């Protein structure tokens, strides 16, 4: 349809091109109404999205910067520059994406969001598009890529260690209490809640769901449709009569729902998400809703996760850790090998390969994919007393350390020991924002 359009020189690389399959949310893409835009920007947009998908980007950012339009691909949580275009051409691409998502390209003073369905290399994707005005006539855009292919999230497929999934299963054993998955936006909180739910033994327990889980399928879970005119209490009563052991709830945001849930938590076990950056914030929020007593009595545990980039298997390098390092990391002294990223090419050496030539698999990044690390605040007897006394985050943290509960940073060392990530990546992911990177020491040659 656009074969007469010249290829954009900034995107001249060859990829298998995406096939657009129309906008989402019942909208129409009116390409005929925008012939000039289509002529100028359809092919570059196609190429940009194809490029992003081939690089495993999960987000594409299009943002004005110094009179130009910068494009960045976010891969495994890290944004990479993917070209800067002259302002007008870049803005044309942004408008073209809006047309493809069924949005109005003339409207530039309001936030607009929509979606595009497409196929690339025989895989179907959904792009969630948001255009945000930043000054008159100028917008920035965020495109989130999701692969709606149904995924079964079990402890195994999510990468949850066996001892943790057993612990979560233990929480559900008496079919009472509340188990929560916390996390900020984009933290994978829904996946974490579903994985937690799937730790239950489906042959022994009957599990109902009242939650929406977009694109994630629940296994061995019965969808519960509330009857007309039934409020939450009547619905819970009905589930109890149907011998429900466990109920999966929508993310906790409504105090009234949370209060009712706590009232029933001595008869059913609940699993839900709670929007909170960490378990301590989650506890504070719950206390505000239902009070300390209820929290200490009813909550069994709050799980959180953080995604850490995993080393590329094709180019990671083994090294023999020295005993001091193992001691510092509290790893067994017999650990004989850990892994790290290969050193970057020597800029002094004219024959050195470029970063992209170093490894085809990861383009020299040298990380490929992410793996979760976990924290689990358990309402043990000790923790219940801390909650009743002060619920102070520092005191709760100290209690977690004292009782050797799973904490993010120590759990990340598990990934290092398993050879899945590097110490450098763990340091990077736990560095507080804004703190500069320490200058890396010169590395010895790989063993
Ligand atoms: Zn690699």
Considering its fold, how many domains does the chain have in total?
2
In this structure, the answer to whether residues 176 and 140 fall within a common structural domain is no
What pLDDT, on the 0 to 100 scale, is given for residue 179?
A: 98
Ligand 1 centroid to residue 311 C-alpha, Å: 8
85 and 68 in a common domain = yes
The whole-angstrom separation of Cα 147 and Cα 267 is 38
Instruction: Examine the domain organization and report whether 85 and 172 are in the same domain.
Output: no
Distance from Cα 320 to the centre of ligand 1, integer Å:
20
Domain final residue pick, 146, 180, 209: 146
Distance 405 CA to ligand 1 centre (A): 34
Confidence of residue 192 (pLDDT cuts 50, 70, 90): very high
Q: How far is the CA of 277 from the centre of ligand 1 (A)?
A: 32
The pLDDT confidence band at residue 444, using thresholds 50, 70 and 90, is: very low
**Cα of 365 from ligand 1 centre, angstroms:** 7
Q: Are residues 166 and 61 in the same domain?
A: no
Rounded to the nearest whole angstrom, what is the distance from the C-alpha of residue 313 to the centroid of ligand 1?
A: 6
The answer to whether residue 380 sits within a structural domain is yes
Q: Supply the pLDDT for residue 443.
A: 46
**Domain shared by 100 and 170, yes or no:** no
Query: Tokens standing for 326?
Result: 């193992």
Domain final position from 146, 173, 198? 146
Per-residue model confidence as pLDDT tens digits over 132-164: 999 888 899 999 998 766 566 888 888 899 999
Average pLDDT of span 371-377 = 96
Dump pLDDT digits (tens) for 403-442: 999 999 999 999 999 999 999 999 999 988 766 655 444 4
Q: Where residue 31 sits, what CATH number does that domain have? A: 3.30.450.90
Q: What CATH number has the domain bearing residue 234?
A: 3.40.50.300
282 plus 424 within the same structural domain: yes
Give domain status of residue 328, yes or no: no
Please report whether residue 384 resides in a domain: yes
pLDDT per residue over 157-181, tens digit each? 888 999 999 999 999 999 999 999 9
Q: How far is the CA of 274 from the centre of ligand 1 (A)?
A: 36
For residue 275, the CA-to-ligand 1 centroid distance in Å is 35
For residue 426, report the distance from its CA to the centre of ligand 1, in Å.
18
**pLDDT for 26 beyond 70:** yes
**Domain coverage including residue 138:** 9-146
pLDDT(113) > 50: yes
Domain shared by 142 and 288, yes or no:
no
Residue 2 in domain? no
> How far is the centre of ligand 1, averaged over its atoms, from the C-alpha of 162 (Å)?
28
Closest listed residue to residue 366, CA positions, set 318, 313, 414: 313
Co-location of 57 and 135 in the same domain? yes
Q: Do 89 and 159 fall into the same domain?
A: no
User: 79: closest CA among 63, 59, 65, 64?
Assistant: 59
pLDDT of residue 357: 73
For residue 354, tell me if it sits in a domain.
no
Q: How far is ligand 1, taken at its centre, from the CA of residue 343, in Å?
A: 12
Residues 108 and 49 in one domain: yes
Task: Tell me: pLDDT of 5 over 60.
Answer: no
pLDDT, the chain, mean: 89
Instruction: At 434, list the tokens.
Output: 């804004």
Q: Is the pTM of this model over 0.85?
A: no
In a domain, 234, yes or no: yes
pLDDT at 373: 95
CA 439 – ligand 1 centroid, Å: 23
Within a domain: residue 315? no
Q: Are residues 259 and 393 in the same domain?
A: yes
| Percentage of residues in the chain having pLDDT higher than 90 | 68
> Does residue 247 sit in the same domain as residue 382?
yes
Q: Report the C-alpha gap between 240 and 246 in whole angstroms.
A: 10
In a domain, 447, yes or no: no
Per-residue pLDDT at 442: 46
Instruction: Out of 122, 146, 170, pick the residue that ends a domain.
Output: 146
């Amino acid at each position: 349809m656009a074969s007469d359009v010249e290829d954009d020189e900034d995107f001249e690389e060859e990829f298998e091109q995406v096939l657009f399959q129309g906008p989402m949310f019942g909208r129409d893409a009116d390409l005929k109404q925008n012939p000039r835009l289509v002529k100028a920007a359809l092919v570059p947009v196609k190429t940009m999205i194809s490029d992003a998908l081939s690089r495993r980007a999960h987000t594409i950012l299009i943002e004005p910067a110094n009179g130009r339009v910068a494009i960045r691909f976010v891969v495994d949580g890290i944004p990479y520059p993917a070209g800067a275009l002259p302002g007008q051409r870049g803005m044309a691409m942004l408008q073209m994406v809006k047309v493809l998502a069924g949005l109005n390209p003339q409207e530039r003073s309001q936030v607009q969001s929509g979606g595009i369905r497409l196929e690339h290399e025989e895989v179907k994707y959904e792009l969630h598009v948001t255009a945000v005005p930043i000054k008159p006539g100028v917008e920035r855009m965020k495109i989130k890529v999701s692969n709606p292919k149904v995924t079964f999230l079990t402890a195994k497929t999510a990468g949850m260690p066996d001892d943790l999934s057993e612990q979560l299963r233990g929480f559900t054993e008496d079919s009472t209490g509340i188990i929560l998955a916390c996390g900020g936006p984009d933290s994978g909180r829904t996946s974490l809640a579903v994985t937690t739910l799937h730790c239950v033994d489906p042959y022994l327990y009957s599990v109902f769901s009242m939650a929406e889980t977009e694109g994630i399928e629940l296994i061995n879970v019965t969808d519960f449709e509330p009857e007309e005119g039934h409020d939450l209490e009547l619905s819970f009563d009905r589930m109890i009569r149907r011998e429900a052991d466990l109920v999966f709830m929508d993310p906790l945001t409504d105090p009234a729902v949370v209060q009712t849930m706590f009232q029933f938590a001595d008869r059913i076990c609940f699993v839900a998400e709670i929007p909170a950056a960490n378990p301590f914030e989650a506890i504070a929020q719950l206390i505000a809703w239902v009070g300390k007593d209820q929290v200490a009595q009813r909550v069994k545990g709050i799980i959180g996760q953080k995604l850490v980039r995993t080393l590329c298997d094709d180019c990671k390098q083994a090294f023999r850790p020295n005993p001091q390092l193992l001691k510092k990391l509290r790893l067994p002294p017999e650990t004989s090998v850990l892994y790290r990223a290969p050193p970057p090419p020597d800029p002094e050496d004219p024959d050195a390969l470029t970063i992209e030539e170093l490894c085809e698999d990861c383009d020299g990044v040298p990380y490929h994919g992410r793996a979760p690390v976990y924290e689990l605040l358990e309402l043990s007897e000790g923790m219940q007393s801390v909650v009743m006394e002060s619920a102070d985050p520092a005191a709760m943290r100290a209690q977690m350390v004292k009782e050797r509960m799973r904490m993010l940073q120590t759990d990340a060392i598990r990934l290092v020991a398993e050879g899945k990530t590097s110490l450098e990546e763990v340091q990077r992911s736990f560095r507080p924002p804004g703190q500069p990177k320490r200058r890396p020491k010169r590395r010895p040659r790989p063993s």
